[in-house]
A = this chain, B = another copy of it.
């Protein structure tokens, strides 16, 4: 192994504007969400590969020798493959005991880990190692938790295998990989996403890798060069929803009322473009209150447009009402119909207002985090730079 120990993290993802409209060929803006997934990798001499996923109460361990048997002679030739190794995947599904309908988080996480581990190390000796992953992200909430996991796996295992160098220098607390290495991380993370999701858009792993913001249009993903870091609240209404049903509902409405809904999609497209322009200005000019006024107005308008599309929910109306009572503006993020919402905080928003708002939302039965969007993508951490509460989960005493 090329490293004895490394800690990496990757952010989650939120849709700032353009959810649903993107399905109909309009722009969406995806941003990194600074609720991060952390992965600690340690080389061991136990002859075992151990995976700890405390978020989902999962602790697995295999002998290196049994994993070796899953490899065929043809494996591990091309670490940069864009295509999934279907034969390896079939064997892993059998090994993990996954039947076709079984898509639970634990099985998918195991499958993605073993696939990347065996693909990257299969051409040489399989190393003994332990991997521990802790995420600040809720799972299944449309916040890219699986992509953040895949990005962490890819970054740590590629680094451990020597395919890319560890970027962290002695004195630094965090460090990022160069563009080329990030491209490799992203392509392996995308493999992980494919294993977990079947047919992912690639947006989530791209955000997890590059961070910041990216523009997504007709399947094309364009990272935006510079965006400001924005303070937000991320709220999970915990109302379950089906993305498929919601997407189908918008399509039905579009088919039923094309003359009414098509302009709505155009309007949302313009919201994304106006937001992108405003954020670009905020990095090239002094940031003013007016910039935040515009961002707030765009949030309000888009939230109403999402209601027009029928993907709102009373729990989201409550989120908007409760935060507006504190002068803060919110919209749903992702599929809607419940799920999560984001609330923009202004630079001058007092922490007492933030705390009161968080409490109001928790009183509604929601989960709520103070975090930020637009922050860095995948990075390596020195152990001392990681928050104690995270380290506690990664390496419990």
Contact = CB atoms under 8 A, between A and B. Distances in A.
A198 interface: no
A308 B301 contact: yes
Interface in A227-252: none
* Copies of this chain per assembly: 2
Nearest to A267: B263
Contacts of A261: 267
Interface string A129-171: 0000000000000000000000000000000000000000000
Interface stretch (A207-215, A269-277, A332-340, A365-373): A269-277
Contact of A304 (B263, B304, B321): B304
A266 interface: yes
Range for the number of chain A residues in contact with chain B = 20 to 34
Contact of A307 (B263, B304, B310): B304
B308 A304 contact: yes
Contacts of A310: 300
Interface string A289-305: 00000000110110011
A314 interface: yes
Contact of A260 (B259, B260, B274, B307): B274
B270 A267 contact: no
A201 to B, nearest CB: 25
Contacts of A314: 321, 324
B264 A263 contact: yes
Task: Name the residue among A270, A274, A297 with the largest chain B CB count within 10 angstroms.
Answer: A270
Nearest to A271: B260
A301 B267 CA distance: 14
A307 B259 CA distance: 19
Interface string A19-42: 000000000000000000000000
Interface string A312-336: 1010010001001000000000000
Contacts of A263: 263-264, 266-267, 270
Interface in A77-99: none
Contacts of A266: 263
B264 A259 contact: no
B274 A270 contact: no
A60 to B, nearest CB: 47
A352 to B, nearest CB: 23
A270 B13 CA distance: 35
User: Which 6 A-B pairs rank lowest in CB-CB distance, beginning with the nearest?
Assistant: A259-B270, A263-B263, A304-B307, A263-B267, A263-B266, A304-B308
20 contacts: A256-B297, A257-B270, A259-B267, A259-B270, A259-B274, A260-B267, A260-B271, A260-B274, A260-B298, A260-B301, A263-B263, A263-B266, A263-B267, A263-B270, A264-B267, A267-B308, A304-B304, A304-B312, A314-B321, A317-B321
